[in-house]
């Protein structure tokens, strides 16, 4: 469990980067009502905001529609490693196609661990780390994945394979 609340500059960063317009459905995963929840509700007053604890997230069902954005804190610190890993996978695959993960200094997860889940490091605030996931840009397109190396209609009939 995190020892303290995230630093104010991290909360400001998250509130300022909700998007314009703000998301309509937001999932907030936190151990308790944090200053983050108040800040999110202030920036997105019309959003349907659901708050779950990391333990409640294990059994929760999101319904037929995924959340537009999930903001997660205390998951890595409060859950055993396997449960936290399953929670990250569930967030990525089912709950939301876009989420922010706040990692406190108490978490023993490395940068490589989190990159393995498709997360990108978004910032470092004091000793806190911020990661993000967005299904639309989680994977960079490699250089070799283009028509120059694959099916190239301009060269059909010119090469004998």
Residue 101 has pLDDT above 90, yes or no: yes
State how many domains the chain has.
Answer: 1
pLDDT in tens, 106-137: 888 999 999 988 899 998 888 899 999 998 88
Residue 136 C-beta-side C-alpha neighbours within 13 Å: 4
Give me the pLDDT at residue 159, please. 67
- Looking at every residue in the chain, the average pLDDT score rounds to 83
Q: State the pLDDT confidence band at 147, using cuts at 50, 70 and 90.
A: low
Residue 2 has pLDDT above 60, yes or no: no
Q: What average pLDDT does this structure show over 70-84? A: 89
Give me the pLDDT at residue 100, please. 92
Q: Is 59 inside a domain boundary?
A: yes
CATH of the domain at 74: 3.40.50.150
Q: Is 34 inside a domain boundary?
A: yes
Q: How far is 113 from 109, CA to CA, in rounded Å?
A: 6
Q: Is 123 inside a domain boundary?
A: yes
Q: What average pLDDT does this structure show over 2-7? A: 68
* Residue 127: domain span: 8-155
The percentage of residues in the chain with a pLDDT greater than 90, rounded to a whole number, is 17
Minimal CA–CA distance to 67: which of 79, 84, 56, 52?
52
Q: Is 107 inside a domain boundary?
A: yes
Q: Is 79 inside a domain boundary?
A: yes
Q: Is 64 inside a domain boundary?
A: yes
Give me the pLDDT at residue 161, please. 58
Q: Is 1 inside a domain boundary?
A: no
Minimal CA–CA distance to 40: which of 17, 61, 67?
17
- Where is pLDDT greater, at 55 or 4? 55
DSSP symbol at 155:
G
Q: Is 55 inside a domain boundary?
A: yes
Q: State the pLDDT confidence band at 37, using cuts at 50, 70 and 90.
A: confident
Name the token pair of 137: 């840009």
Q: How far is 48 from 40, CA to CA, in rounded Å?
A: 11
């Amino acid at each position: 469990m995190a020892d303290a609340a995230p630093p104010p500059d991290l909360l400001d960063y998250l509130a300022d980067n909700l998007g314009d317009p703000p998301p309509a459905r937001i999932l907030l995963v936190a151990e308790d009502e944090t200053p983050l929840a108040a800040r999110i509700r202030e920036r997105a007053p019309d959003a349907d905001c659901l708050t779950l604890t990391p333990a409640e997230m294990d059994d929760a069902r999101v319904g037929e529609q995924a959340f537009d954005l999930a903001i997660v804190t205390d998951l890595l610190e409060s859950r055993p490693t396997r449960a936290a890993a399953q929670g990250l996978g569930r967030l990525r695959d089912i709950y939301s196609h876009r989420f922010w993960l706040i990692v406190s200094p108490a978490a023993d997860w490395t940068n490589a661990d989190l990159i393995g889940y498709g997360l990108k490091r978004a910032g470092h605030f004091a000793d806190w780390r911020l990661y993000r996931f967005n299904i639309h840009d989680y994977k960079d397109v490699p250089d070799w994945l283009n028509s120059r190396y694959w099916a190239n209609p301009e060269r059909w009939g010119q090469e004998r394979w």
